[in-house]
A = this chain, B = another copy of it.
Amino acid sequence: MSIFDNEDEFYMQQALREARTARDEEEVPIGAVIVCDGQIVARAHNNTERLHDVTAHAEMVAFTAAANTLGTKYLPNCTLYVTVEPCPMCAGAAGWMQIGRIVYGAGDPKKGFEKLGHGMLHPKTVVDNGVMQEECSELMKEFFKKKR
């Protein structure tokens, strides 16, 4: 039995859909959704090529969209589902947003935030990982294999 419940897998599937959209647009295939009280309040994927902005990560776009949707500044009752471990910029943004929980699929030992610790997060933020990590990681591997 998985340590993750079906809900986490369901929402990570939604994040994976976003990641596949990114791939189809030749963006780095990372997707994110933000969930609040069982509702998806934001969906986003990496948009750095289209926006010509190296900071337009899935998470950054999703945070702003979720705050707009909910009409709030902070997201303490929300969960961020993202296919790949957030980078320090996105983790720092999650900190400002006071997000309740972060669930990521595949780890990113090189560019991920975890190697710097959880100091940039809000102290109450819970972090889980590994949900559908094979699928999340496979998308990234395929993308970068093609690029070479």
Contact = CB atoms under 8 A, between A and B. Distances in A.
Interface of A: 48, 52-55, 60, 63-64, 67-68, 73-74, 87-93, 95-97, 113, 115-117, 119-120
B116 A55 contact: no
7 contacts: A48-B73, A53-B73, A55-B97, A88-B119, A88-B120, A116-B117, A116-B119
Contacts of A73: 48, 52-54
Given A52-B73, A55-B64, A91 B88 contact: yes
A90 B55 CA distance: 10
Nearest to A121: B88
B52 A60 contact: no
A86 to B, nearest CB: 9
A93 to B, nearest CB: 5
A61 to B, nearest CB: 11
Contacts of A68: 52
